[in-house]
Amino acid sequence: MKEETMQLTLTPQEQEVLSGAVKSAISDLGTEVGHTDKQAMRQGLQKRKKVLLAILDRLRVGSG
């Protein structure tokens, strides 16, 4: 199955704000994973965190 991709052009200020929002979401997910007892839900949260970390890496690459 081929994944669809999207290209997004951001101003430096937009990139900074988006990076901050992604960092905040990653932090919140870390806390949520720690408080989740159900394995299936924990795995879903960890998968979401992994995707957000990949997005944050791509935002950093775009700033250089």
Domain boundaries along the sequence of the chain: 13-62
Q: How many CA atoms lie within 13 A of 14 on its CB side?
A: 5
Measured CA to CA, the distance from residue 56 to residue 60 in angstroms comes to 6
Q: Residue 2 above 80 pLDDT?
A: no
**Considering the entire predicted model, what is its pTM?**
0.83
Q: What is the pLDDT of residues 19-56, one digit of tens each?
A: 999 999 999 998 898 888 899 999 999 999 999 999 99
